[in-house]
A and B are shown apart, each in its own frame.
Chain A
Amino acid sequence: MERTRNFCIIAHIDHGKSTLADRLLERTGTITQRDLVQNQVLDDMALEQERGITIKLHAIQMKYQHTDKNEYTLNLIDTPGHVDFSYEVSRSLNACEGAILVVDATQGIEAQTISNLYLAIEAGLEIIPVINKVDLPSAEVEKVSQGIVELLGCKPEEIIPASAKSGVGIDEVLAAVIERVPPPVGDAEAPLQALMFDSVFDPYRGAVVYMRVVQGTVREGETIRFFSNGKEFEVEELGILKLRKQRTGSLSAGDVGYMIAGVKTVADTNVGDTVTHAKKPADAPLPGYKEVKPMVFSGLYPTVSEEFEELRDALSKLRLNDSSLVYVPESSIALGFGFRAGFLGLLHMEIVQERLEREFGMSIINTVPNVEYIVEIASTGERVVVDNPSDLPDPGKIDHVEEPYIVAQIITPAEYMGNIMKLCMERRGVYLNTTYIDPTRADVQFELPLSEIIFDFYDKLKSVSRGYASFDYEFKEYRQSDLVKLDILLNGEPVDALSSIVHRSKAYDWGRRLCRKLRELIPRQMFEVVIQAAIGTKVISRDVVKALRKNVTAKCYGGDISRKRKLLEKQKEGKKRMKQVGAVEVPQEAFLAVLSMDE
């Protein structure tokens, strides 16, 4: 245990976390150049590679001979890098004793880095600051180090200048991990306490649990228990994680490794849970476990109604390795049978939608995402949770509606402060305070309704700050708001799947923009389509998609028939991708029109 170091890397997207990880693996001989063909080794889901985000965390063990001639075992635990996954980040941080803080020399510290850094400091981790990309012409090493010094209260010489791309500073980083990060403490003879920081699904073996043993020892053949749900399983295989799994038969205090225990679904394996022995359990779980709560809800419907069962099947398979996805069946008058799904955030929602389409070949309609509201019923004082706008009770029955608020932390160059203030005010934000990280960079805090940031807040923030501002948030509380249900009617029929809950002050503008966007998205068809936005029975906006005037092939002779038939088949295929709502054909993207509304 004296020669084991457990650490992670904290960095903003694109600041070079994956590249640095690759260099460490290379330098310690854990992988070869050839293994790197897929560029960054730790992100192995195709989607992750495309989006450049580590969605699921993993761990890998390295061996490194230090200048003291001793060989050290270094466990690198990877962390996801997006606001949607901050709880997962906190769990993987808790599996470590140290963290490398990577800051891009050309960008400086970003909001997300700071919030993750705070989590790391809270978890008592030793922080090793690294300035990456120091060899770039636009690098501002001096300024960035000053920011780090102010943030960490460290000495400037403790900051390691590096370039993961060209390999500069890698040995120094490894040396610092060994010298500065304390070895794990724990008693191999104590009752078992292992922190589960991730699990992935293997179609042949079931859930593969990634864990850090904090106390005690676990061996194959023993029966273990999960603290959160009390479920017990017999351990089939234990081992450590190299590039591939390496079976060791047991794991002891301080070790990071994997466990296979015949767990059929990852839904049983909750990130942050504590694994203990069934026979001689620990008295208490490790602190910090929370049930992950979805923040954003949306309807998921098959474009073709008959594919409901296929969608159910696909979702249950997705859930096998994404336990943060929750869903229950629901039905919509417009869309038929589908599911209401809860997601950690908008990114998570997009990932689920993409995986359903790519991995399961499903054609999906995703309805407008919304947050979860609490509605207090006037007559009874009963508090009802509403996660689907069409479930909002009749306004006459409502005493009041509450919506979730978050605290947003925005790090921005001072010159964009004005723009950001304006943006947050438009989003019903309440200003809290500003602190300066360095003379040119501010850390601004706002309270905002969650519903105001789930759509396009992040994009807007980037555009008003020329891409420089960064953002993180955490849930604060539920607050009473003046909210109304805005309905959309097509040819006079309300389309429940297009309803949304909006603040009364914004309802008119919202309705007008939504109608206009729908007019663009709904193609002209044989019959005129009237689009209306209404609050209750009051129509507040109206737009019309005019009927198609002429569509007929002029010439159709012997040589045209096959071609004409194929064109018609193509046209029919296109129609299949649209949803028939009453007599109106509505394209999939119209259900997410809100996400692409213009100002």
Chain B
Amino acid sequence: MAGLYVHIPFCEKKCIYCDFYSIESVHDYDAFLASLTTEIEMRARLLPVGRSFHSIFFGGGTPSLLSPAQLGGILETLHARFRFDPLVEITVECNPGTIDVDKLRGYRAAGVNRLSFGVQSFHADDLEFLSRIHTAEEAETAIRTAHGAGIKNVNLDLMFSLPGQTPERWMANLERARALGTTHLSCYSLTIEQGTPLARMVARGMVGIPPEESDAALFELTMQTLSDWGFRQYEVSNYALPGFESRHNLTYWRHEDYLGFGPSAHSTIHGRRWWNVSSLQTYLERIRGGQLPESGGEFLSADTLRSEHIFLRLRSEGISLPDFTRLYGSDLHADNRDFIDRCIADGMLVIDSERLKLTRKGLLVCDEICAELK
């Protein structure tokens, strides 16, 4: 099983915190779409036939800048070249400021069955700080519009630990999301990514980032609240009502293969990982020149796979200890007996049906635990 990712590298305006590749200028979408089609065809010829994909994810950038016809065109190309499960999950990331009911209806007609809205907050001042192009009202109406277009499987992205964010303001966002009937929430702690305008603002002291203690408190509040409301936390930042987990995102955390198209897209197939150039210009030139737009790659050794397996699984559904032994020929628990037992005693880890899982307390220091495991 594998997931398929398409990167749409356009934004109306870049947000100050975002480090994904995208460009703001006015573009010739058609030139990009033509190259994307070529890339898909080139890649399809290289990959063994018969592999079936369980998900397609349009990320970016702002995929919702594409018209239904444009998006449908990509899906047609994909369907012509690859095999998909009958119940394939097809997600489009949407900016609430770029959609209307007609567009979403069009997406649905093209096969889209899941939407992910980058809402971030329902407070106007937060949105202004984050330099989002949409308003609080648009954030509110987006999910209704999706429902109106017949798409029930909807995720909202929300951000916590924004400067000056009180627990009350954050709770208000969570409550709003729940009232709107979302089936899935991605709640990210604001991360300062290098090279972003936000990072420069922080460095200059223009923005005060909340201390670790209040960040941790908001994270705990989120986990507790959403669990009380029936959402299952199936990854550090992801919560779903039962049955609404994102099949595509699980691809990464289950360490399954994924194939990516478009500038900066990453792929991992059969133990090889590669990534495309993070420049639309170069991407177009490479494809026009008949070359794949790869900018780098690596073969994943058994050790590498083992270490990735640990941190990907641990941050999501946990590590099946028997599976781990079978895959890597080493007993994770035996190799880390003292440490794991201490974490269990301290309530950070549990072993549940031979599955090593982080508790909420453990999730808070997930990276530390991963760094300790040998």
Contact = CB atoms under 8 A, between A and B. Distances in A.
B258 A558 contact: yes
A557 to B, nearest CB: 5
Contacts, number: 100
Contacts of A561: 252, 266, 268, 273, 308, 312
Contacts of B251: 558
B236 interface: yes
Contacts of A557: 249, 252
Interface in B257-283: 258, 260, 264-268, 273, 275
B89 interface: no
16 contacts: A526-B369, A548-B368, A550-B219, A550-B365, A551-B365, A553-B315, A553-B366, A554-B191, A558-B251, A558-B260, A559-B266, A561-B252, A562-B275, A569-B307, A583-B338, A583-B342
Interface stretch (B37-45, B68-76, B147-155, B209-217): B209-217
Given A559-B275, A561-B308, A565-B307, A554 B252 contact: no
B23 interface: no
Interface residues of A, number: 25
A550 B368 CA distance: 9
Contact of A553 (B252, B264, B307, B367): B367
A527 interface: yes
Interface string B335-374: 0001000110010100000000000000111111111100
Contact of A558 (B191, B252, B338, B369): B252
Nearest to A550: B216
Interface of B: 5, 20, 188-189, 191, 212-213, 215-216, 219, 235-237, 249, 251-253, 258, 260, 264-268, 273, 275, 298, 304, 307-308, 311-312, 315, 338, 342-343, 346, 348, 363-372
A568 interface: yes
Given A549-B364, A558-B267, 10 more contacts: A526-B348, A552-B315, A553-B191, A554-B191, A554-B237, A555-B191, A559-B264, A562-B266, A565-B304, A571-B371
B253 A526 contact: no
Interface in A10-47: none
Contacts of A555: 188, 191, 237
B252 A526 contact: no
B370 to A, nearest CB: 6
Contacts of B363: 552
A564 interface: yes
A568 B306 CA distance: 13
B315 A556 contact: yes
A525 interface: yes
Contact of B212 (A549, A553, A554, A556): A549
Q: Which of A548, A550, A556 has the most CB of B within 10 A?
A: A550
Interface in A520-575: 525-527, 548-559, 561-562, 564-565, 568-569, 571-572, 575
B346 A527 contact: yes
A571 B20 CA distance: 24
A365 B252 CA distance: 41
A550 B237 contact: no
A558 B5 contact: yes
A555 B366 CA distance: 12
A91 B343 CA distance: 61
Question: Shortest 6 CB-CB distances between A and B: which pairs?
Answer: A550-B216, A552-B366, A571-B371, A549-B216, A554-B188, A558-B266
Contacts of A583: 338, 342
A583 B341 CA distance: 12
Nearest to A562: B273
B311 A565 contact: yes
Contacts of A556: 235-236, 252-253, 311-312, 315
A575 B374 CA distance: 12
Nearest to B160: A554
Contacts of B219: 550
A247 B264 CA distance: 68
Nearest to A572: B371
Contacts of A527: 342, 346
Q: Which of B266, B267, B342, B363 has the most CB of A within 10 A?
A: B266
Contact of B371 (A550, A554, A559, A575): A575
Contacts of B372: 526, 575
A555 B191 CA distance: 9
Contacts of B311: 556, 564-565, 568
B312 A568 contact: no
A552 B307 contact: no
A550 B252 contact: no
Contacts of B268: 558, 561
A568 B373 CA distance: 10
Contacts of B342: 527, 583
A551 B315 CA distance: 12
Contact of A568 (B249, B267, B307, B348): B307
A556 B252 CA distance: 8
Contacts of B298: 562
Nearest to B297: A562
Contacts of A575: 371-372
Q: Which of A552, A554, A575 has the most CB of B within 10 A?
A: A552
Nearest to A585: B372
Given A559-B265, A561-B252, A550 B215 contact: yes
Nearest to A525: B368
A492 to B, nearest CB: 15
A317 to B, nearest CB: 32
Contacts of A553: 191, 236, 315, 366-367
A490 to B, nearest CB: 15
A282 B212 CA distance: 77
Contacts of A562: 266, 273, 275, 298
